[in-house]
Structure 1
Amino acid sequence: MSLEPLLIAELLLVGLCTGFLAGLLGIGGGMLMVPFITFILTAKGYPAEYTVKIAVATSLATICFTSLSSVRAHHRRGAVLWPIVRLLAPGILVGSLLGAQLAVALPGKILSILFAVFVAFSATQMFLGRKPKPTRTLPGPLGIFSMGGLIGMLSSLVGAGGAFVSVPFMTWCNVKIHDAVGTSAALGFPIAMAGTLGYIWAGQDLPQMPPGSLGFLYLPGLVIISLASICTAPLGARTAHRMDIQPLKKVFAVVLYILAAYFLLR
């Protein structure tokens, strides 16, 4: 199977930008990958009802690699709170698997509007610098599991790494922003792995899929974007740790606004 040089260049560019954002903000770059992969495959003439799902599945799969690269950089700086990762991971796995199945059935317009409102609200809270109560901490085991399920489900539905939910949640519970970003990067792997498996299962034996597809997963996009993103993720992580806390919060809020606008436009 051969790929056109223009297609390779487009996927490389998406991967380079995705990796930098993954390292900088602990996100998987789904808001870049999903629209661009959708545009690329639609321009190739593949069915519109498949292209968004293919883009989401491929976005999730690349997060498996970008999260490993960025979390290693954050871990070296002591910014990954592994006890929180272990508490949230079980709920995330369940939520991610369910989200992939729901994505096939639920109306995309309704989901996009609901997510846009929720994400914009979270961004506003961060941008305004609302401070949590000093006594507020992370909830108990049931609350952590439920929150993990919500993070996993939303992330799997939209092909994102979960930082748009997990970072505001952790900072709301008095986790420092750098630690929240690093921990979110670590959470990206279970989100991506479970969601990807769900999309592979849901997309079996469908006609008119792009060559090199495994279920809804577009393997050429996965390989090219992952290799490019691994190169730039450490650069993003180093940039994040050179910035003051407040500017980093504002950068993350702006990214959330962009993500909310993408949901509405889609």
Structure 2
Amino acid sequence: MFFGVPYDQLAILAVGLLAAGAVTGILAGVFGVGGGAVIVPVLYELFGVVGVPLEVRMPLCVGTSLAIIIPTSIRSFQAHKARGAVDLDILKAWAVPVILGVVAGSFIARYAPPAVFKAVFVFVAGLSAFRLLTGKELKFGKGMPGTAGMAASGGVIGILSSLMGIGGGQLGNLVMMAYGRTIHNAIATSSGLGVLISIPGAIGYILAGWSKAAAYPTVAAIQFPFALGYVSLIGFLLFIPTSMWTAPLGARLAHALPKRQLEVAFGLFLLIVSGRFLWDFIAR
């Protein structure tokens, strides 16, 4: 036993986290996403193995995902900014509403039942899967919307991303491309959303789950030193090394395989994950 957790459960969790980190890094390199769509469902299954109750499992997965995204989002944003590909005007217009949306999402996380997190995940992942599998893009017009439209879209991106545990890249890309921006410009600019969302989001989930550890004294996985609030420290520490190591491999893979083939593969993965959470949502 280590801090009340059996060694076999710790071994399963550690190996699973390292493997999932490797897969997340590859997907991040291939698709330019932060990996939250992969991190959350993987953590959900792994935390179930070590006995984390359903009442706190989804917010623990989401908060941990946001913490994991912090270093990769900063690195990605710096790389895109160095190339001059980031539209800073869009980020400035989105900054305040996105952060306010994240704060609202963190507040919701403190009181919302698990079904809320699953419903958000199913909606966003399902929408992304539909777009990837059909190859269809939304078209709202040319040129980004005005002040009110940017504020509204930024707030929605912040809330949904903080409840799903993603860096906002998928939603940011969706909005920007719907208003006529190129995929390269959308990806580069959306990388900045990861910084705006992940840092306040992780802090918000630590605060939101701070009192939950006392409510489940026998569940070691949500107690310090394994976790701070709704952020798993062991998940954070084990996910990052392998994801950072395999991200360049994913970038090389993106140039070696047909783009459409990769889109379909990722779309099918999101569809399966959405179905998994939808079934869990209906069954309970």
TM range (shorter): 0.7 to 0.9
**One-letter identity of the residue aligned with 2:241:** L
Q: Which of 51, 57, 60 is the aligned partner of 1:54?
A: 60
Structure-1 residue corresponding to 2:27? 21
Query: Alpha-carbon deviation of 1:139?
Result: 0.5
Name the CA distance, whole Å, in 1 between partners of 2:60 and 2:137. Answer: 39
**One-letter identity of the residue aligned with 1:162:** G
CA-to-aligned-CA distance 1:196-231 (integer Å, 9 cap, x gap): 111111111332323421111111211111222122
Aligned residues: 266
Structure-2 residue corresponding to 1:180? 186
- Partner SS for 2:102: helix
Instruction: Give yes or no for contact 2:137–2:178 (8 Å, CA) kept in 1.
Output: yes
Structure-1 residue corresponding to 2:244? 230
Query: Alpha-carbon deviation of 1:15?
Result: 1.1
Instruction: Give yes or no for contact 1:46–1:210 (8 Å, CA) kept in 2.
Output: no
Q: Which of 191, 194, 218 is the aligned partner of 2:200?
A: 194
Name the CA distance, whole Å, in 2 between partners of 1:66 and 1:262. Answer: 27
Query: Alpha-carbon deviation of 1:19?
Result: 1.9
Name the CA distance, whole Å, in 2 between partners of 1:71 and 1:24. Answer: 16
Name the CA distance, whole Å, in 2 between partners of 1:77 and 1:191. Answer: 22
Give the direction of change, closer, same or farther, for the CA distance of 1:136–1:125 in structure 2 (3 Å limit).
Answer: farther
Show the 5 A alignment for 1:134-145.
136-145=142-151
Per the normalisation by structure 2, the TM-score is 0.79
Q: Which of 196, 217, 231 is the aligned partner of 1:217?
A: 231
Q: Which consecutive residues of structure 1, in runs of 5 or more, have no partner in the other structure? A: none
1:9 and 2:29 correspond: no
Instruction: Give yes or no for contact 2:54–2:114 (8 Å, CA) kept in 1.
Output: no
Show the 5 A alignment for 1:1-266.
4-75=10-81, 78-109=84-115, 112-113=118-119, 116-117=122-123, 119-125=125-131, 127-130=133-136, 136-205=142-211, 206-207=213-214, 208=217, 209-212=222-225, 213-240=227-254, 250=264, 253-254=267-268, 256-258=270-272, 260-266=274-280
Identity of aligned residues (%): 35
Name the CA distance, whole Å, in 2 between partners of 1:163 and 1:62. Answer: 15
Name the CA distance, whole Å, in 2 between partners of 1:201 and 1:246. Answer: 41
Looking at CA atoms only, which structure, 1 or 2, has the larger radius of gyration? 2
- Comparing 77-86 with 58-67, which one deviates more in the overlay? 77-86
Give the direction of change, closer, same or farther, for the CA distance of 1:125–1:158 in structure 2 (3 Å limit).
Answer: closer
- Comparing 6-15 with 123-132, which one deviates more in the overlay? 123-132
Instruction: Give yes or no for contact 2:122–2:274 (8 Å, CA) kept in 1.
Output: yes
Instruction: Give yes or no for contact 1:19–1:228 (8 Å, CA) kept in 2.
Output: yes
CA RMSD of aligned residues (A): 3.0
Query: Alpha-carbon deviation of 1:56?
Result: 1.0
Name the CA distance, whole Å, in 1 between partners of 2:140 and 2:257. Answer: 24
